[in-house]
Structure formats: structure tokens, C-alpha cells
Structure 1
Amino acid sequence: MTEHVVASVDEIPNGNGKAVEVDGLPIAIFNVEGDYYAISNRCVHMGGPLGEGVLHSELPTVDPDRTSVHCPWHYWEFDLETGRSVVNDKTGLRTFDVSVEDGEIVVDL
């Protein structure tokens, strides 16, 4: 595994995401209440840019604690911890380990 600094914590405010590319892989990084998640930036449905998606916790909903992102193109929803589709657990995205070191967000590939 190789660690890569992808952003500073100041670049991704709470409730937001950012798309980055690491070693040719498109990755979306999200900040949920100071917890950072990294998943593939391409939706399995039609390749939508998940880094531009809406976090479930930012929507008016009965379950604000669900940690997931909705694709901005067709609203497919993926769990940020597992990468699994919320409606079809046989479909999912690759996830990556994330840590914060000295104010920098680090993704392990």
C-alpha cells in the first residue's frame, strides 16, 4: 500500500466532497463531521462524478446519520464506509483507507 496526500482539511469543509486523481484513479474524498471517506469518483450506473454528489447527512431526511453520497446525475446512493449501493448490496464502489496527518488528508492505495 502507498500513502498519498490528496488535500488539506481546509479544502473540504464539513458536508462536502472533492474529486482528486491519484495514480490515475479518480477518487472522491468526503468530510462528514470531521470524518473523512474516500471512494471511487465514478458512479457504477453511468460514471457520474460522485465528488460532486450530495451527502445524505445534508438532506432533509428521517435518517440524518446515514453516511452515504448520492450521485449528482441519477441520484444513486452509496455508503461511504463500504462503497455498497444502499438499494442493491451486490453493487458497489471501491473504497480507500483515509487518515489525517498534520492537517493533510492521506489516502492509502
Structure 2
Amino acid sequence: MTEHVVAAADEIPQGKGKAVEVDGLPIAVFNVEGEYYAISNRCVHMGGPLGQGILHSDLPTVDSERTSVHCPWHYWEFDLETGRSVVNEKTGLRTFDVAVEDEQVVIDL
């Protein structure tokens, strides 16, 4: 596996995502209360940019315990830890290991 620095930790504000490309792979990186998650940046439904998605905890009147993102195009929802669709567990996205080292967000491919 190879580590890639994709951003400074402060470039991804709490509750937001950032789209990056690593070795040709489109990846979305999210900051959820200081925990960083990385998944494929393309929704399996129609390729929507998940890095621009809405975190589940930021939606009004929902359970804020869930760590997931809604696609900005059609609101398909994916668990950030597993990559699985919240509605259909047979559908999912690739996830990537993420760490913060020396204030840098690092993804392991």
C-alpha cells in the first residue's frame, strides 16, 4: 500500500468534504468532528460528486449518530465507514484508509 498526502487537515472544515484525485482515482474526503473518512467520489447511481454531498448529521430532523453522506444529485445515502448504501446494502462504494499525520490528511491506497 502507498500513502498519499491529499490535503492539509485544516483545508477540510468540520462537516464538509473535499474531492481529490489519487493515482487517477476520484476520492471524496470528509471531516466528521475531527474524524476523516475517504470514499469513492462517484455515486453508484449516476456518478454524482459525493465530495459535494451533504453529511447526514447536517440534515434537519435526522438522527445525527449516523456517519453517512447524501449524494448532492439524487440524495442516495452511503455510510462513510463501510461505503455501503444505507438503503441497499448490496450496493456500495470503495472506502480508503485515512490518517492525519503532521496536520496532513493521508490516504492509503
For the criterion TM > 0.5, the same-fold answer is yes
Hey, what does 1:50 align to over in structure 2?
A: 50
User: Shift of residue 59 of structure 1?
Assistant: 1.0
Hey, what does 1:28 align to over in structure 2?
A: 28
Cα distance in 2 for residues equivalent to 1:15 and 1:7: 16
Q: TM-score, normalised by structure 2?
A: 0.99
Cα distance in 2 for residues equivalent to 1:61 and 1:79: 18
User: Shift of residue 62 of structure 1?
Assistant: 3.4
Deviations 1:14-44 (A, max 9, x none): 0000000000000000000000000000000
Cα distance in 1 for residues equivalent to 2:42 and 2:25: 10
Hey, what does 1:88 align to over in structure 2?
A: 88
Cα distance in 1 for residues equivalent to 2:16 and 2:8: 13
Amino acid at match of 1:19: A
Q: Secondary structure at the match of 2:36?
A: strand
Cα distance in 1 for residues equivalent to 2:70 and 2:37: 14
| Identical residues among aligned pairs (%) | 84
Cα distance in 1 for residues equivalent to 2:18 and 2:58: 15
1:76 is the counterpart of 2:76? yes
User: Shift of residue 63 of structure 1?
Assistant: 0.7
Task: In structure 1, list runs of 5 or more residues that go unmatched.
Answer: none
Give the root-mean-square deviation of aligned CA atoms: 0.5
Task: In structure 2, list runs of 5 or more residues that go unmatched.
Answer: none
Amino acid at match of 1:24: G
1:107 is the counterpart of 2:103? no
Q: TM-score, normalised by structure 1?
A: 0.99
Deviations 1:40-94 (A, max 9, x none): 0000000000000000011113311100000000000000000000000000000
